[in-house]
Chains A and B, each alone.
Chain A
Amino acid sequence: MAHIASLLRELKRGSTEVLILSLLEERPRHGYEIGRLIDERSGGEINFHIASLYPTLYRLEENGFIEGRWVEKAGQRRKRYYRLTSAGKKTLAQQRTAWDTFFVALNRIAHIKHA
């Protein structure tokens, strides 16, 4: 099973960006919410190490795909929210296409179905 775990690690690493971008496509979110949603919506299957979440967020921000800003609401802690930029939307679309193409090709060869 060790090699499966290693395979899963590799898969998670490759999918980090598309997961984050697609969550931000819905609405702006802060880092903790992004991590939690990935965990909840994946049914616990994808569980990021927080150490990889924030570097990925920062890398996406540096590349201009997302934009972060501090938001302070009355009675709440100050939180840093991230939103998708127009460049990020384009990248998300490209990554979705790439993943879709990948899965189609994967299915042709290895008969792996996806929704």
Chain B
Amino acid sequence: MHEARMDWKSRIRELFTASAADVDEDVMEELSEHAAAAYERMLSDGSEATEAARHVAELVRSWAREAPNLRRRSNRPPAVEAPPVVPRRFAGFLNDVRYALRMLNRQRAFAVLSISTMSIGIGICTSLFSVVYGVFWKPLPWPEPDRIIRLTEIRQGATRPHPLQIDNAAYLAWQDDPTTIEKIGGFWTNTATVSGVGDASRIGIGHVTSSIFSIVRAKPLMGSLFTADEEDASGKVLLSYGFWHERFGGRSDALGRSIQIDGNAFTVIGVMPREFVFPDTSVRVWIPYHIRPVIAPDGRGTNSQIFNAIARLRPGVTPEQAASEATVRARSAPDGGLATLAFWGAEPKARIDISAAPALDALTSDLRPALIAVTAAVILLFLAVVGNVANLQLAHTVSRQREIAIRSSIGAGVQRIAQQLLIESVVLGLAGGVTGLFIAVGLHRALPSSLPSDFPRIDDVAFNLRVAVFCGVLTLVTGLLLGTLPALQVRRLNLVESLTEDQNGSIGGRKDGLPRARFAIMIGQIAIACILLVGALLLSRSLLVLMHADRGYDPANLATAIVSMPVASFSAQREIDILNRIVERVGAIPSVTHVAYTDGLPLSSNETLSAFKMPSNRPPVGAPMQVHSVRHVVSEDYFQTFGMRVLKGRAFSSADTASSQHVVVVNRAFATQYLSDSVIGDRIINFAGDFAQGEFQVVGVIDDVVEHQISEGIQPEIYSLQTQSIFRSQNPGIVIRTNGDSRAIVDSLRSIVKEQDPSLALYSVMTMEERLSSSLSKPRFYAVLLSTFAFSALLITGVGLFGVLSYTVSQRKREFALRSALGATPAELVRLVLTNALTIALCGLAAGTFVSFVLVKYLDTLLYGIKAHDWVSFAAVDIIIIIMSVLSCMGPAIRTLRIDPIRSLGGH
């Protein structure tokens, strides 16, 4: 049978060739099968062999005559496509693109893995670019913003720095006839309750000098701006465009209307244009801010103010030149006296320096170290992603060696094939880029809720054309870069080897069957994972230290809230009466163990700085000494409610009344700095001016309390009782300790507050733990971000290592089979794979550890309670990488045990 088929096929081929017919091999085979079947049928019907052969030969001749009609077009694309006959440049490019798409459609697993890996890297990079551009590069929304500078006053020996702020002495000294600047302006912002038009709500208020508007070259949309003369007279307000539309419906009759800000009436004199922003988008209305002269007009007493300041440079002047002039002028300004001590914790005569920096730099300077770290992390992650895809590309190219060799053997030049591979890579990159763009859009939507609330210029982080172009350029560059390796690989292709090699690899070929390029890429990926893990571990451990740091009180089961009590609406006595009633009513709730109030909660921006002179309690006793501290006025149970530790003496008690001995409690820092060794019984006099006159006796010392960020250090503090000093705060804080979840009493608190006065508003209602957590939003954000990158890099590296080891095993199949046949045990085979894995891992670890050691010093400013060169973190990372490597090689190691020596060595 076999001979008949072969014979007919030869006959058919001869006849078709003789008639110059071009018939597919497929058709020839089908016809020869038909011929053989017809021949056998005739034989089985009883025909003679010669007769049957003659009949079938006639049949074959008739086919040859009809050869042009014997064509079948296949639905499948050819395995190897012929190069274009007329190599028109653009037509060839389109063909290559079409071919690339078909190849990717056939190799879906490779395409999906490459595209998804690349899209993660491109998406994250694009998202980071939108943040970097919006925060650091996008110009501030004022004309010639690079000519606007922010000023910082630095006092020698200051224990309480005020970045980006100066005092009224330095400001006024520079205001008249400056030579390096056109104008200087002062401002500060807060939140206040706005009412009188629509529902009462808290909004951002900008307190600005009139010169601010000329510095930022702003003109009102309608109405007018403040003049310098109007700064001292309150009662005028400018509205933002958004606020005007929201509350006044965009109507022109808003001018002249009145609104209430914290109970004070203001008349609308103007509306700013839509694009006007100062200093940021949180501010919705502006009211005049008056900078008072240091020496009061009547010559008695001094005025001291601290605020933010900007100035516009004259043409050709540098910020350094302006700073020099400002410094000279500030040093000749009147002395602020004890106020200087209060504000800066520095001696009144301390040396002054004014620094000036471009406004954008000043705004973002404290973010720079973190952003540099995050940018480096993103770049490293991107390199890990690219490395992974490059490894996939190289493996993919190896698997196509035979196809490439065939194409080369039938006439495709190396350059042509390399171009094809490059185009395939670019097409792959484009697909990854488009998907990455969607990922970037998704990340952008999640940004506002993920970034810390005090992150500057969040509103300027936008997904726009510039970001999309960046994504496009990155995609193209990535695609070209990734295509370079396979293109280079093609140049080293050995045609004979590629056409004769089988799937089982060679014996005794390359030492480990792994191209150097893939080996190097794998080491690089492990090094990157190591670096990211070190950074993530350090930041995470630092965050843990911050979270569990002793702040001097117990934040558990502690509910807090701030009550808005504007001076214009609540007198001092009424404020105290209301707060006392609230304390009494809340204290009656069964789950409440302690309740108190204060003029300023920890971690809020409300605090009172104090500086005074008093007779010394330490030798020489009675000598005048200058004291600066933070002053608190609190209710009786304040220390018990907060769980603050009393180190000496006692806390306040019900025995401390308005008519009893006036007492204070101090913190350890105050006691150490200013009081005698015994402390208890020491006397402090006139420490709060009119608010706390006379002599106060120290009855207790509490342990230091962290009022703000831990990194800011401890200030000396004095606590006085509200019955013995004047309590005056527009935003007093209420604190409640419960014996269960403190959130359960929030509703009761709100109704109790409303019962006292319907106009009272509670805000910033949260547990102390939530308040603490919110204060750690930045370190938490960086720790979470870097941990995400590190985990992603670890996963990508693990998958990549798995792929590389699997490839190695497949390439060394014959070697493993031979070893097994010669008596190697399964453990020995597994050890070979493990050695491969650990060699790569250790090389990567060595490189990664070295680079980490050099780079971690840049994380110093972001760490707390932990050194950058922390050996525990480094050791933990080493262990994680080793475990990842062992896990990655388990699959390939198991494959070696399943190699059948007979099948693998068959044919040799």
Contact = CB atoms under 8 A, between A and B. Distances in A.
Interface of A: 30-32, 35-36, 49-52, 54-55, 58, 61-62, 68, 77-80
B5 A51 contact: no
A65 B426 CA distance: 38
Given A31-B33, A51-B65, A55-B66, 12 more contacts: A31-B30, A32-B34, A32-B38, A36-B41, A50-B63, A51-B62, A51-B66, A51-B69, A55-B70, A58-B27, A62-B73, A80-B26
Given A36-B41, A77-B5, A78-B29, A50 B69 contact: no
A86 to B, nearest CB: 15
B41 A80 contact: no
Nearest to B38: A32
Contact of B36 (A50, A68, A77): A77
Nearest to B36: A77
Interface of B: 1, 5, 26-27, 29-31, 33-34, 36-38, 41, 59, 62-63, 65-66, 69-73
A79 B69 contact: no
A55 B33 CA distance: 16
B33 A80 contact: yes
Contacts of B73: 58, 62
A35 B35 CA distance: 12
B775 to A, nearest CB: 68
Contacts of B5: 77
A16 to B, nearest CB: 13
Contact of B62 (A31, A50, A80): A50
9 contacts: A32-B38, A50-B59, A50-B63, A51-B62, A51-B70, A62-B72, A78-B33, A79-B33, A80-B29
Contacts of A49: 62
Contact of B69 (A36, A55, A68): A55
Contact of A80 (B30, B36, B63, B71): B30
Contacts of A58: 27, 70-73
Contact of B70 (A30, A35, A54, A77): A54
Contact of B37 (A32, A68, A78): A32
B70 A50 contact: no
A32 B33 contact: yes
Nearest to A61: B72
B25 to A, nearest CB: 12
B34 A50 contact: yes
A44 to B, nearest CB: 14
A51 B36 contact: no
Contacts of B1: 77
B37 to A, nearest CB: 4
A81 to B, nearest CB: 11
Nearest to A55: B69
A9 to B, nearest CB: 15
A80 B72 CA distance: 13
A51 B38 contact: no
A54 B30 contact: yes
Contacts of A78: 29, 33
Quick one: which of A49, A54, A55 has the most chain B CB within 10 A?
A: A54
A21 B36 CA distance: 24
Nearest to A76: B1
Nearest to A80: B30
Contacts of B41: 36
Contacts of B33: 30-32, 77-80
Contacts of B71: 58
A84 to B, nearest CB: 16
A52 B59 CA distance: 12
A50 B63 CA distance: 8
Contacts of B72: 58, 61-62, 68
- Nearest first, the 3 A-B pairs at minimum CB distance are A51-B66, A55-B69, A58-B72
A61 B30 CA distance: 14
B71 to A, nearest CB: 6
Contacts of A62: 72-73
B35 to A, nearest CB: 9
A58 B71 CA distance: 7
Contacts of A79: 33
Contacts of B59: 50
Contacts of A32: 33-34, 37-38
Contact of A54 (B27, B37, B38, B65): B27
Nearest to A79: B33
Contacts of B38: 32
Nearest to B5: A77
Contacts of A51: 62-63, 65-66, 69-70
A54 B62 contact: no
A68 B29 CA distance: 13
Nearest to A30: B33
Nearest to A35: B34
Quick one: which of B5, B26, B33, B36 has the most chain A CB within 10 A?
A: B33
A28 to B, nearest CB: 14
Contacts of B63: 50-51, 54
B672 to A, nearest CB: 92
Nearest to B4: A77
B31 A54 contact: yes
Contacts of A80: 26, 29-30, 33
A55 B66 CA distance: 9
B682 to A, nearest CB: 100
B47 to A, nearest CB: 15
